Amino acid sequence: MAFSTRLASSLRSTLAPLHRAAPRQCRGLSTPQGSEPSLNLGGIFPPLTTPFSATQEVDYAQLEGNLRHYASIPFRGLVALGSNGEYPYLASCEKVEVVSCMRRALPRDRLLLAGSGCESTQATIKLTVSMAEAGADVALVVTPCYYRGAMTTAALIHHYTEVGDASPIPVVLYSVPANTGLDLPMEAVITLAQHPNIIGIKDSGGDITRIGLMVHKTRQEDFQVLAGSAGFLLASYAVGASGGVCALANVLGDPLCQLDRLCRTGQWQEACDLQHRLIEPNTAVTRRFGIPGLKKAMEWFGYYGGPCRAPLAPLSPAQVEELRSAFSANGWL
């Protein structure tokens, strides 16, 4: 029996609760049994890239153009100013304007999550309030990490509690150890899940055991777990994740929404087959070539990619060919 067939068979009973609803209607497995989340995060969210001109200024016209293309894809919402949005490279005023631009362009039924995490609690609160005023529905708050050695469980709980208390919009925690060198401790997640204004976490670490335990330990709370990558989306759904914030959705948005839909309608064999075809391209635009690779791939699928801000450098011709091969070998080009 093929591996994908064995996996599909083993997932049927685990994923069965997903089959009863479409992506925007499913309550998600990481909310209390029989209850509805205060804000449903079930579905796919692309963490948008920030378009820059040749002079490395934010190109709002190109951002609006990409948003028009994305409007036909059944995303649950979009993320502004995540890691793929080159968030650390933008000035505060640019961050606010990006969110304002996106809110004006998006239909109201599309959720807008906006990155607002800063190194200090005070700065995070200030930017979170600004994001709410600019039209964000949810604040995505990455872990502070510059003084990583001092970021104890107690310090992080205090930080996020203060942000949750002060934020006029719901907060989603964001753990991305590949960029921060810091995994938000499980104890902190469990404690913060009890906060009435903290409604979920985006976990980009890729540890499925951790994601499953997070779902299990927060199952009685109004709290949803989002997979942080397309590479482990199906596995995350198998252990109860509600949705995914996936860089690859900038390029292959429809296939990722299809994968979400296949899981929720019980078509496990098709879901496994599709997941397999997404793994190699996802690795190419994340761990292998990062944002420069993601922006280059976007251009092949009709979106504006453009340059990154320095010091992020463009790909070499050899890297571009390797990137293209990751897509073509899996039938996407």
Collapsing DSSP to helix, strand or coil, 290 comes out as helix
Kindly give the residue spans of alpha helices, DSSP state H, lying in 106-204: 121-134, 153-166, 177-180, 186-192
* 225 marked ligand binding residue: no
Rounded Cα distance, 70 and 64, in Å? 10
Neighbours of 243 (CB within 10 A): 28
Q: Are 169 and 136 in contact (CB under 8 A)?
A: yes
d(CA 206, CA 232): 7
Q: What are phi and psi of 141, to 5 degrees?
A: -115, 105
Catalytic residue among 60, 70, 95, 202: 202
Q: Count other C-beta atoms under 10 Å from residue 27's C-beta.
A: 20
**Sequence-separated (6 or more) residues with CB below 8 Å from residue 329:** 280
70 is catalytic: no
Q: How far apart are CA 305 and CA 107, in angstroms?
A: 23
Among the options 174, 237, 303, 304, which is catalytic?
A: 174
Please indicate whether residue 202 is annotated as part of the active site.
Answer: yes
* Beta-bridge mates of residue 114: 80, 139
| Catalytic residue ranges | 174, 202
Residue ranges of the annotated binding site for pyruvate are: 245
